[in-house]
Structure formats: structure tokens, C-alpha cells
Amino acid sequence: MRVLGIETSCDETGLAIYDSEQGLLSHALYSQIDLHIPYGGVVPELASRDHVRKLLPLTRQVMDEAGCEADDIDAIAYTAGPGLIGALMVGASVAQALALAWGKPSLGVHHMEGHLLAPMLEETPPAFPFVALLVSGGHTQLIEVQGIGEYQMLGESIDDAAGEAFDKSAKMMGLPYPGGPHIARMAEMGIADQYKFPRPMTNRPGLDFSFSGLKTFTLNTIDAEKANNPDGALSEQNIADIALAFQDAVVDTLVIKCKRALQQTGLKKLVIAGGVSANKALRERLEKTLTGMGGDVFYARNEFCTDNGAMIAYAGCQRLLAGQRNDLQISVRPRWPLTELPDIKGQN
């Protein structure tokens, strides 16, 4: 089966063509980062308008790169949620219009299932079962995965997601949007142990996360450092040291919770997915931890950690092969619990 995948959940327009026999044939991604930088975050209306501008040109691009015509496409998969309502509607509308025009079936895909399955696009994909850490700007979740659609939520953030905490803390430090890569870059120049940040909710049992208090601690640290400086501003070294302390706190928290989840489930494989999974320090710490436990950690290549069409094409293909289809009604879900998805036993 050959599937055209469309991703428009937030601020990246992703298109891809995935073939169940040949693998990924083509993919293209347009990031709106430059569009949103002046506002310090994503402006939903601007995001939706940019998806309108980019979707069809990118569709033509991936079709050309794969050497495909409309008749070569067997189905269309698109992100139906969760995400920004306007952005989701743009992708769903184009997907359903193409499905109607080409006479092809379509399927709305869960955005976070796409992230969870993105490591399956690699040469050495993980085998089920495993524990998944989904860590992005909107989600921080630990999930036991027995198969596609067989998900048990082990823990999640009760307030800010880890990626959101990165972005907001970076803004406090005067770093550009998106904050994660800039904090990681500054942290490489930081001096260890200049500041001691808390590891939230690690001193109590359970697998839930909370990063709002860490964000407040970062703000208080910044204000205190500014008050100590003669010019009332942070030096570049101050920013680097705070960035390192903040990143270490987030990474330590995630690693502690992942270790607990693996011990609780008795599993030895961990998948990390979502934008924050590209963080080098997080990958290194998790690899060291899993090696010490006799386990393995899996993640997608960097280009498939952030939102992309390839993960939607892959996830959609697996469910389409299992016989799932949508009608041509345009329907999206800005909020959509991952655990509500049906399983596809016998197809994974």
C-alpha cells in the first residue's frame, strides 16, 4: 500500500509518501519558525494561513520526487489531532479534497501516535513491547506499548510539557524561539554546579511529571542573578550556566521517570519520540541508563523527531492495512487522548 501523509498540527507543514513494501519514498517539510520568531511563539492564525500556502506545492514536490501520479497513491493519511484547530482543519480539508478527487480512501491519524511510531522508519526499529517517552512542546507522557493501538498511560505531565518549559525558560533568558535548541546550545558553554535546580516530583512515587515549578525556579534564579549584576542584566556566562542547570534538571527528571517505568513494567526497551527527543544530553543519559539496565533505547533521526509527514504516512499506512477508513466528513480533534485509539492486533 502506498500512502500520502499530511501533517499540519502546528507550525510545520509535512508531506511524505510511504510504501508498505518499499518504505519511505519521499518526504518534504516546511518549518514556520521564521514566521513566528517575532512573536516569541506560534500564532495560530498565521500558522493556518501558511499551511494553506504550502500544502499543495509540497504535495506536488513529494509526488514528483517519488515518481508518483494520483493513480499510484492508494490512500491518504492526515493528522486529525491533537493540535491547533485551524491548522488541523487545513490539512484535513486538503486531504479529504484529494481523497474525493482521486477516489481514494482516507484516514485521520493521531499526531502523537505518529511520533510514537516514528522510530519504526529507521533501519533497526524497536520490536513490541516497549515503554515510550513522548516528549514535545505539548506532551510529556510515559506509555506502555504492547502493539499499535495497545497503549497504557503510565504517567504524564500535570501542567507544562517539557518542551513548553524549554521554550518559556528560554524566553526568560532572552533566547529566541523555539527555546529547546538554543538552551541546548548555551548549555554546552555552561559551567556545571553553578546552580542547583530541583528535580520535580522525583522524591515521591509515581510516573507523573510537573515542570511549572521548575519554570518558576528558573525565573527566580534569573531575577536573583540580575539583581547581583551591576548592570542589572545577565551575562552570556550567566545564561549558559542557567541553561545548563535547567537542562540537567529536565534531563534528570525524565531519566529517573523512564527508569521507574521500565522497572515497573519489566520491559527492557525504551522509545523516545517528539521534538525534545532530539536533545543530545537526553539521548546520552538515556543510552547510558539503558545500557546499565541491560536494555536498549530507540529514537528517530533528528528530522523525524519534530513534526513531519513521514510519521503520519507510516502510522496511517499501518491502520489502513488493518482496514480502518474515514468517510469524507472533515472532522478533527484538537484534544484527543492517545488511549482512545483502537488496536490493530494481527497487523503489527
Binding residue per annotation — 19?
Answer: no
Report which DSSP code applies to 338: G
Binding residue per annotation — 212?
Answer: no
Binding residue per annotation — 135?
Answer: yes
- Whose grid coordinates read 531575577? 223
Binding residue per annotation — 106?
Answer: no
Strands 296-299 and 140-147 turn out to be unpaired
Alpha-carbon gap, residue 140 to 159, rounded angstroms: 10
Residue among 128, 151, 137, 162 at smallest CA distance from 298:
128
Residue among 161, 121, 71, 119 at smallest CA distance from 269:
119
Binding residue per annotation — 58?
Answer: no
Query: Inter-axis angle of helices 162-172 and 236-265, to 10 degrees?
Result: 170
Residue among 330, 336, 316, 335 at smallest CA distance from 3:
316
Cell numbers at 107, concatenated: 484516514
Binding residue per annotation — 182?
Answer: no
What is the SS3 string spanning 83-140?
CCHHHHHHHHHHHHHHHHHHCCCEEEEEHHHHHHHHHHHCCCCCCCCEEEEEECCCCE
Binding residue per annotation — 36?
Answer: no
Binding residue per annotation — 136?
Answer: yes
140, β-bridge pairs:
135
273, β-bridge pairs:
134
Binding residue per annotation — 323?
Answer: no
Point out the annotated binding site for Fe cation: 111, 115, 307
Annotated binding site: 111, 115, 134-138, 167, 180, 279, 307
Q: Which residues are annotated as a binding site for substrate?
A: 134-138, 167, 180, 279
